[in-house]
Structure 1
């Protein structure tokens, strides 16, 4: 399926004319930003959405508009507790969903943290890698049997994957000096590699997986960035864009940021996006060189690298899938 959707499309525009009645979708990170907007757009078109969040009280307040959209669009919305920085919480959430037993047509692994100060999760993993990758790795694999044949997994990555490949020998910066952007890059590369290998393992039953870049959006994800940090990052992007003959960087709105998530989950052809990295409602090309935003690095979609990360991730979390 092709479309004219692009960088400025919104989630509602992508879903225009689509009836999602009867579709059940899990979205993580629904206490702010993209997660809230993704859930709202889906329920407005009739979907039943389960939203996962660490802070349920915050999520209840943040998703008032989602519930209103569900009522108007004949959709449904529920919340479940999920702290991706605690594997005990992840396993409890998965157990709850499995006990409930109702299948999902789509899982959107939206939650994450960015450029945080050095820290570790409850289980001793570097915060960004443990939260963004390993938490979702355990959750999705534990509920994989609930994802329907012909379903879809969408993991949210970032152009930030260009900062660094995964480090399979020192994932927690036990030896290397910690850099928040390098850590973010590792986690976002891991999000892509996870989708690549999950897709390979499940495509025989029509369950396809892809990773997406939502775009640069001002949300709570940037809570650890100061204004000067943001200005320096944008200046760096614009300098590189100018050298490449590309236009200056522009932030997306939150509705525009949610568009690629719902496009990849609902609209895009499964064979087109399966095992791929998508941006601006299309499949990205592999790029090298100094490009800061568009395209995907080859190491992030390398099938052998994806298998290696999967095996190491199983070792780190103490589970095999």
Structure 2
């Protein structure tokens, strides 16, 4: 009988009894928060983790506990990756391809949230460019390294419910910019990317999924003022109350990273593939705006996923 996990499950609970010895995993964003905890949990269960980070000195200090807790052949090595620069993304992919060692799972954990309006090194809106396009190029360039039967896990968010992608104006050149509207677009893109990647690679057993980790106090929220955070919580709790749902509660970092571990190593491949997961289970479509759980149907739309893929290729000047 399989174990049942939920919102309060932790990484170690999800991976209890799971031997990851000999498994190799790429995790982006290992300089803080969920990325560090994901790497720690995987290495503690025997995985060889490759952690990608923009600031390697910061990542080296942040991941000391990962090395301390590594067991049964578990390990951590670091690679430099700035998702806001396609030159850095391509250089990282080139290094990984030159190394040639395959991955069992790739976890696209890194991201930014609710940033002021700005652009990446390549002129893309900051959140769409970093959260989606950077990972889009990285993953597609190293897709050949993902073993048959492997998995891709994209970290999305319930924030995808804020907005669908805008394929006509992805850089807010004609649309009024709002920090959470842009965040919502990027998180919807993370789901749609998983949907199309899954379609393209499932014939060889590679499955892709997107996950919502839950609300966690990490560096991801560094651009949010106290006023922004309070207003968001008030809005969420009002919606929860109207829907008869319990008030919002923060997750711990081990609880937040649990769904990534579950989707990558515990959930059935055919169950998670092409879907969106939350609280260590596959989420159901939920079109109602007032409900915070579930996935908006537009984020799983296969035609929308194909259109985003084509638009992303055009934007980065590369065909996959």
TM range (shorter): over 0.9
Deviation at residue 306 of structure 1 after TM alignment: 0.1
Supply the distance in 1 between the matched residues of 2:226 and 2:176 (Cα, whole angstroms): 24
CA deviation profile, 1:8-43 (whole Å, cap 9, x unmatched) = 000000000111000000000000000000000000
Q: 2 CA distance for matches of 1:275 and 1:42? A: 23
- 8 Å CA contact 2:11–2:257 kept in 1: the answer is yes
Matching residue of 2:13: 13
Give CA deviations for 1:201-246 in whole Å, capped at 9, x if unaligned: 0000000000000000000000011112111111111111011110
Deviation at 1:3, TM superposition (A): 3.2
**3-state SS of paired residue (2:83):** coil
Question: Could you list the per-position Cα deviations for residues 148-191 of structure 1 after superposition, in whole angstroms to 9, with x for gaps in the alignment?
Answer: 00000000000000110000010000011111110000000000
Q: Verify: 1:287 aligned to 2:286, yes or no.
A: yes
Q: 1:59-100: per-residue Cα shift (whole Å, max 9, x none)?
A: 000000011111x44301000000000000000000000000
**Which residue does 2:146 correspond to in 1?**
147
Q: When the two structures are aligned, how many residues end up with a matched partner?
A: 320
Quote the residue 1:103 is aligned against.
102
Q: Name the TM-score, length of structure 1 as normaliser.
A: 0.98
Distance 1:190 1:76 in 2: 31
Deviation, structure 1 residue 291: 3.0
| Equivalence for 1:228 | 227
Unaligned runs of 5+ in 1: none
Contact 2:21 2:72 in 1 (8 A): no
What corresponds to 1:127 in structure 2? Answer: 126
In the alignment, structure 1 residue 188 sits paired with structure 2 residue 187: yes
Q: Secondary structure of the equivalent of 1:174? A: coil
Contact 1:159 1:292 in 2 (8 A): no
Q: How does 1:13-162 map to 2 (within 5 A)?
A: 13-70=13-70, 72-162=71-161
Q: 2: CA distance between counterparts of 1:235 and 1:115?
A: 17
SS where residue 94 of structure 2 aligns?
Answer: helix
- Whether 1:261 and 2:253 are equivalent positions in the alignment is no
| Length-normalised TM-score, structure 2 | 0.99
3-state SS of paired residue (1:315): helix
Alpha carbons of 1:2 and 1:234: their partners in 2 closer, same or farther (altered >3 Å)? farther
Q: Cα RMSD between the aligned structures?
A: 0.9
CA–CA separation in structure 2 for the residues paired with 1:77 and 1:198? 27
CA distance in 1, matches of 2:291, 2:217: 18
- What is the rounded CA distance, in whole Å, between the counterparts of 1:8 and 1:293 in structure 2? 17
Alignment of 1:179 with 2:172, yes or no, is no
